Amino acid sequence: MSNPDQSVCDDCAVVMGPGTDVIPFLIPEDDGHGGGKMEAFCPQCCVWHRMPLDPQRFFPGAHVAIQCLDCKKQSVATRTGNMKAGACPQCRSPRTIDLGPKSLGDLKFTVGALQQAKA
């Protein structure tokens, strides 16, 4: 990383932040009670790997990893009432596509975590 403002995904090590098209999603390691370090995740790792670990904080299915067709940024959006991704959080464009998991392992992990949360 040549830019000190950039970060690396804690899961897949992709470079994120200024100068890239990937917007990091920061999550406090300590459930938001203070004192813990911030974890940085790329949108896909956040939605498909990190959020399923904590269904009490992140309602399953409420967030989606997207790429905006206008500004080209990847970020995390909140789903709307019709379960489609909302507007791009960066430029507010409604023209977005959903990003799936980076690997089949992430998809299996997400399904397993959701099944465990229901039990």
| pLDDT category of residue 22 using cuts at 50, 70 and 90 | very high
44, part of any domain: yes
87, part of any domain: yes
Choose the weakest-confidence range: 17-21, 52-56, 102-106. Answer: 102-106
For residue 37, the model assigns a pLDDT of 82
Could you tell me the sign of the dihedral formed by the alpha carbons of 117, 56, 25, 1, in that order? negative
108, part of any domain: no
Question: Which of 11, 40, 36 is CA-nearest to residue 25?
Answer: 40
The total of structural domains in the chain comes to 1
Question: Which of 57, 63, 94 is CA-nearest to residue 79?
Answer: 63
CA distance 77 to 88: 7
DSSP string for residues in 67-107: EETTT--EEEEEB-TTSSB-S-TTT--S-EEE---SSHHHH
- Residue 60 DSSP code: T
Look up the domain containing 77 and give its range.
7-103
pLDDT digits (tens, 9 = 90+) for 36-95: 788 899 999 999 989 988 888 888 888 999 999 999 999 999 887 666 667 899 999 999
